[in-house]
Structure 1
Amino acid sequence: MTTRIIPAVGDAEAARSITTLLSQLPDAEPASPVGDSTTLIDTLARLAGESIDELPEVVLVHERIGPVPALEVIREVALRFPAVGVVLVTSDASPGLFSAAMDSGARGLIGLPLSYEELVTRVQAAAGWSVGVRRHLGQGSEVFSGPGGTVVAIAGGKGGVGTTLIAVQLALAAQASGHHTALVDMDLQSGDIASYLDVQFRRSIVDLAGIQDISPRVLQDAVFRHETGLGLLLAPAEGERGEEVTDRAARQVVSALRQRYQVVVIDCGSQMSSANATAIEMAETAVLVTTPDVVAVRGAKRMVRLWDRLQIRKAEETVTLVNRHTRNTEIQPPLIERITGTRVARIAVPSNFKELQGAVDAGRMQDLEAKSTVKQALWGLAGELGLVKTAENEGKGRARGGRAANDRGSLTFGRRSREDASKDGKRGAGG
C-alpha cells in the first residue's frame, strides 16, 4: 500500500531534511512541503472537496509551523479531517508535550534530530490507523464529511444596518430547505438573536471558551434547540463576558460546529473583535451588510480595508448585501460595488420595515409572513449563496460566492496583534 504524506514545515532547513528522509521510506509518496498552516488546511480542504480518497494518510506537522501554533494546527486537522493521521515533529519529546499532542489529536510524535527508524515507525503507525478508520467508516461517504459544513459570516460596516435580522432569515431559510443549520451570535457584547427568536437561555458561547476539546456532547449542551429546528449558540447575557471568547476559542467553536451542522450562519455584528474576526477568516462566505446611504457605504469601505490590512479577507472575497434598498436613492448597488471593491449580491433587500415591525416587536422573526417582500428577498439571497437545497445546488458542498478553499487568507492577523485589531475595528466600524 502506498502511503501519501504531506509535510507541513515552516523551516527551510528542516523541510529539506524531512523531505530527504521521506523519499527513502518504503512505499511512500511524499508531497512537496507546505510552508504554513493556512496552506496546509486549504490543501486538505481542496483534496477533500475533490474526493475523500484524495486525502493523504499522514500529515507531518513541524513544531515551527506558523502562523497558527503546531498543536492548534493538529487540533484543526483532527477535527476537520478525522481520517488523516497527524504526527508532530519536535525537538521537545517530553512526556508533557507528548500528552498535549495526543490530546490535540496527534497519532504520534517524532523527536529531532530526525531518525530514519523512528520516522518509519511513526509514519507507518499513523498510516495504518488512517486506513483502519477509513475502512471502518465504509469509505467515509456518509459519515466522514471532510471539510465539513458551510460557514457564512454576516457583518455590518456600521451599527444598525440589519445584520442580525439578515443572519436569522438566512439560517431559517437553510433550515426550512432541509439543511441541519446552526445560528451563532458572535456579536458578543450586544447580541440580539435571542430577542429576535423569543428565546430564554442559560448557556452561551462563553461556556465553550475555556474548554480545551469541544466534544459533540459538550457542544450539544451549549447549543439551544429552537422550535424551528435551528441550533442556537447565543451571545452572553452579560456583554462584558464576551471578552472571554478569544480567537483560539472562536476557532475551536467554529470548527466543532462545522463538523456537526451542514450550514453555520454567524452574526458578527459591526464591532471587530478577535473572535468574530476569526469567524470571518474561517467562513466560506463573508457577507458585508450596508444600507444605500453615504455614512453606511463609507463604513463598509472602512471595514473592507480593515479586513485587508489585518489579513482577514480580501475585498474580492467578500459579498456586499444592500439592505433597505429603494429605486429612487442616488446610491445604487453598482456604485457600492465600485466604492468597496467587493462583489455586490444580485439580490437587494427592499426597504419595508412595516412588514417586519409586528414580528420584530413580538420577538418572533420565525413568524414573518411568507408574502413579505423582505423575507422573499432574504430567502432568495440564501439561494444565491447556496444555503438552500435546490435542483441547481443540490449536492454542492460549498456555498457559491465564497472564496476558493486554496485562496484563503492567513489564520491570524499577520503582524498585527488581536488587541490592536479589536481597537481598529471599534474605530473603523462604529458610527
Structure 2
Amino acid sequence: MPTRILPAVADPDAARAVTTLIGQLPDAEPAGPVTDSTQLVDTLARLAAGSLDELPEVVLVHERIGPVPALELIREVALRFPAVGVVLITSDASPVLFSAAMDSGARGLVTLPLGYEELASRVQAAAQWSTGVRRHLGAGADTPAGPGGTVVTVSGAKGGVGTTVTAVHLALAARASGHTVALVDMDLQGGDIASYLDVQFRRSLADLAAVDDISPRVLQDAVYVHETGLSLLLAPGEGERGEEVTDRSARQIVSALRGRHEVVVIDCGTHLDAAGAAAIEMADTALLVTTPDVVAVRAAKRVVRMWDRLQIRKPEESTVVVNRHQRSTEIQPALVQKITGTRLAAIAVPAHFKELAAVVDAGRLHDLDARSTVKQALWSLAGELGLVKAAAGQGRGRELVRAPDRGALGLRRRGAGRQ
C-alpha cells in the first residue's frame, strides 16, 4: 500500500529538494507541496470532508513554514486530524526542540540537510502509526479526524457598528436550527456578550490561556451554558487579563471548541490583537461589519489591508456585512465591496436599530421579537453563511433585506476616490 505524503514547505528550493527525495522513497506517493500553514489546513480539511481515508498518512512540516509557526501548526494538525502522522523538518536537532515537537503532536523529526536513510525511517514510522490509528478508529467511524465545526469570526470596522449584535444573533439562529453552538467573546478588553445576554459568570477565556492540553472536562468548566442553549466562553471581567490570551492559546481554544460544536461564532471586536488574529486566520468565514458611512467604510478598508499585510486574511477571503442599511443613502453595499475588495454578504441589515433598544437595555438580546426586521435580516444572514440547517431555515426571513445591485456602483460619494 503506498504511503501518501504531503510536504508543507514555503521555500521553493527547499520544496523541490524535499519532493525529489520523497519521490525516491519506496512505495511513496508524494503530493504537490503546500506553501503556507493556511493552505495546509485547508487542504487537509477538504480531504477529510470526504472521508478519513482521503487524508495523507504523513505530513512533512518545514521549520520555516508560515505564517503560523511550525510547532503551532503541528499542534493544530494533530488536534484536528489525529490520524495524520506529522514529521518536522528542522536544522535544530537539540533535545529541547525534539521534546517541544513531540509535545505538539509530531510523530518524528528529520534534521537538515535531509538524508535519505533518516527521512525514510521517520516517514515509515509515522505512516505505520497513522495506519494503526485508522485501523483502530475503523473505516467510516464517527471520528474527530474531519475539519470539525464551522468557525465564523465577526469583527468590526470601528466601534459601534454592531459587531456583537451580529455575532449573538448568528449564534442564536444556528442554535435555533438545532446545531450545537459556541459563542466566544474574544473582544478581550471590552467584550459585552455577558451584558447583552444577562450573564454573570466568573470563568473566562483567560482561565484556559495557561492550559497546555484543553480536555473536554477543562473546557466544560470554562463554558457557561445559556438558557438559549448557547455555550458561552466569555471575555475576562478584568480587561488586563486579556493579555494572558496569546495567539497560541487562542488556537488551542478555537480547536477545542471546533471539535465539540457544530458552529463556533467568535466576536473579535474592533481591536486586533494576537488572539483575534489567530482566530480570524483559523476561521472558515471571517465577517467584517461596517455601516454605510464614509468613516466606517474607510476604517473597513484599513482593516482589510492590515489583515492582508499581516498575512492573516486576503481581502477576497473576507466578507463584508453592511449594517444599518438604508436604500436612500449614497453609499450602497456594492460600493463598499468595490472599495474594500472583499466579498459582500447578500443580506444587508436594515437601519431599524430602535427595535433593539428595549432588549439591549434589559440585557435580553435573545428576546428580540421575531417580527423585528433586524432579527430577520441577521437570521437570514446566518442561513446565507450555511449556519442554519435547511429544514429549520425554511420559511424564515420572509422580509429578507438584500444588498441592492442596480445602480449601486454608480453612486459615488464626494471624495470616495480618495478612500
- The Cα offsets for residues 25-67 of structure 1, whole Å up to 9 and x where unpaired, read as 3222122333433332232223223443221001122333333
Structure 2 unaligned spans of 5+: 395-419
Check the 8 A contact 2:67/2:311 in 1, yes or no.
Answer: no
Counterpart CA distance in 1 for 2:96 and 2:296 is 51
Give 1:282 deviation, angstroms.
Answer: 1.7
* Paired residue total: 394
CA RMSD of aligned residues (A): 2.3
Quote the residue 2:160 is aligned against. Answer: 160
Give 1:172 deviation, angstroms.
Answer: 0.6
Check the 8 A contact 1:323/1:351 in 2, yes or no.
Answer: yes
Counterpart CA distance in 2 for 1:342 and 1:14 is 33
Stretch deviating more after TM superposition (173-182 or 14-23): 14-23
Stretch deviating more after TM superposition (23-32 or 12-21): 12-21
Quote the residue 2:135 is aligned against. Answer: 135
- The Cα offsets for residues 46-96 of structure 1, whole Å up to 9 and x where unpaired, read as 322344322100112233333332211211110111110112233444433
SS in 2 for 1:292: coil
SS in 2 for 1:268: strand
Quote the residue 1:56 is aligned against. Answer: 56
Counterpart CA distance in 2 for 1:135 and 1:118 is 26
Quote the residue 1:420 is aligned against. Answer: none
Structure 1 unaligned spans of 5+: 395-431
SS in 1 for 2:269: coil
Counterpart CA distance in 2 for 1:63 and 1:310 is 19
Counterpart CA distance in 2 for 1:123 and 1:116 is 10
Give 1:168 deviation, angstroms.
Answer: 0.3
- CA distance 1:7–1:292, change in 2 (3 Å): closer
Stretch deviating more after TM superposition (185-194 or 351-360): 351-360
Alignment of 1:10-409 (within 5 A): 10=10, 15-390=15-390
The one-letter code matched in structure 1 to 2:365 is M
Give 1:233 deviation, angstroms.
Answer: 1.1
Stretch deviating more after TM superposition (200-209 or 345-354): 345-354
- CA distance 1:287–1:33, change in 2 (3 Å): closer
The one-letter code matched in structure 1 to 2:389 is K
Stretch deviating more after TM superposition (298-307 or 362-371): 298-307
Give 1:16 deviation, angstroms.
Answer: 4.8
SS in 2 for 1:59: strand
The one-letter code matched in structure 1 to 2:73 is V
Quote the residue 1:407 is aligned against. Answer: none
- CA distance 1:330–1:212, change in 2 (3 Å): same
Identity among equivalent positions (%) equals: 76
SS in 2 for 1:158: coil
The one-letter code matched in structure 1 to 2:327 is R
Counterpart CA distance in 1 for 2:376 and 2:151 is 22
- Indicate the structure whose relative CO is greater, using CA pairs within 8 Å and at least 6 residues apart: 1
Counterpart CA distance in 2 for 1:73 and 1:349 is 37
SS in 2 for 1:97: helix
The one-letter code matched in structure 1 to 2:123 is V
Normalized against structure 2, the TM-score is what? 0.87
Normalized against structure 1, the TM-score is what? 0.84
- Structure 1 stretches (4+) deviating beyond 6 angstroms? none
